[in-house]
Structure 1
Amino acid sequence: MKKNIIKGALASVVVIASLAFTSMAKKIDVKESKITWKGEKVTGSHEGTIDLKSGYLDVEDEKILGGEFVIDMTSLQSTDLEGESKGKLEGHLKSDDFFGVANHPEAKLIITTASKKSGNTYGIVGDLTIKGITNPVTFDMVYNGKSANANLIIDRTKYNVRYGSGSFFDNLGDKTIYDEFKIAVDLKF
């Protein structure tokens, strides 16, 4: 009897301890979350939105441990143009010249490391996959338990998105499109 009580108490301690150190996946509210993008060229810029398909942050004691996000590349839209110009830009961005969404309908970010910097700011290291090509990315993320915000700068040429790149083509002049584009992420849980 005494052995059973001790075994039961020990089992309870093990269960409670394992629960205390278990991380929790905080699922992203994809309808309330928002991703905006901005690409620049010599003669101006374009901007728009793209939707999250799914995502979560691994959190333990309200600290980020990791996470994974899937982006719906087919949802890519321009918000600075209207009508035929909007349709042409969106079609071109979805074509093989840029993101090839027919063959690569999703992009993915996997957070591999999250280090608290100060307050609610984390230094994030992750693997970003676009067009089936994965490269490491680093950025800061502000996380408060109910939302998270981050700004990323992505070099498109690392993902074989070279159209109009002055790094690969000569004599583009004012048709040159800069290699880096910006992503602003506003996540809601």
Structure 2
Amino acid sequence: MKLKIILLSIICLTASLAFAQQKLTIDIKNSVVNWTGHAEIGSYAPAGTLNFKEGQIILKNGLVNSALLLIDMKTMQQSNNDLLGHLKGPDFFDVEKYTLSTIRITRVVNGQAYGQLTIKDNTQPLICPVDIQTANGRITISGKIIIDRTKYGVVYNSSSFFANLGDHAIRNTFDVAFSVVGPQ
């Protein structure tokens, strides 16, 4: 009788732990990063995309608890090939040397994700609003981040570092919108 109670307790504990935390692998084909840069003067705002290399979402008690998202910097796309080459080069993101950027979400509270963003091996704190939707057996996490590129060592044509740039100055911040899709 005691053995049955112990076995039943172990089964219940194992089942509750399995439900308590679940690891999901993201669907990289349906997940994307959109970015937009801005000239400091005028309305020039080049935009493009990046793809995720891989990622995992951790659910705890059915809610998003954390995530690790790896962005493949070599997948950067932009319609102007000259600009794309410059953005991929050493003046900006140096994608041959720094092939991955990372979004690490350590907790989600009231629609805010907290964690770290790593670009060019430089890690900075991250706080961004996220929208989490579940439908048809899938979970989607969408968020928007305003990133100060100078905090990651990307200072090309920044008026904070160089004088007299005029209309060649590039705003220090750029916008990122991401959408991550995974099975529920």
Normalised to the residue count of structure 2, the TM-score between the two structures is 0.90
CA distance in 1, matches of 2:32, 2:15: 37
Find the counterpart in structure 2 of residue 132 from structure 1. Answer: 121
Aligned partner letter, 2:3? N
Aligned partner letter, 1:34? V
Does 1:96 find its partner at 2:85? no
Aligned partner letter, 2:64? I
CA distance in 1, matches of 2:2, 2:67: 43
Find the counterpart in structure 2 of residue 112 from structure 1. Answer: 106
Deviations 1:62-91 (A, max 9, x none): 311100000010111114xxxxxx121011
Aligned partner letter, 2:119? I
Spell out the pairing of 1:109-188 with structure 2 (5 A cutoff): 109-115=103-109, 117=110, 122-145=111-134, 146-188=139-181
Find the counterpart in structure 2 of residue 27 from structure 1. Answer: 25
Instruction: Name the count of aligned residue pairs.
Output: 176
- Which consecutive residues of structure 2, in runs of 5 or more, have no partner in the other structure? none
Does 1:72 find its partner at 2:43? no
* Shift >4 Å, 4+ stretches: none
CA distance in 2, matches of 1:187, 1:17: 27
* Bigger Cα Rg: 1
Deviations 1:102-137 (A, max 9, x none): 11011011111211x2xxxx2011111100100011
Q: CA RMSD in A?
A: 1.3
- Which consecutive residues of structure 1, in runs of 5 or more, have no partner in the other structure? 80-85
CA distance in 2, matches of 1:34, 1:54: 11
Find the counterpart in structure 2 of residue 40 from structure 1. Answer: 38
Find the counterpart in structure 2 of residue 82 from structure 1. Answer: none
Find the counterpart in structure 2 of residue 12 from structure 1. Answer: 11
> Residues 30 and 181 of structure 2 are in contact (CA less than 8 Å); yes or no, is this contact kept in structure 1?
yes
CA distance in 1, matches of 2:59, 2:125: 21
Find the counterpart in structure 1 of residue 55 from structure 2. Answer: 55
Deviations 1:21-65 (A, max 9, x none): 2x1122211111121100000241100111111112111233111
Identity %: 31
Aligned partner letter, 1:144? Q
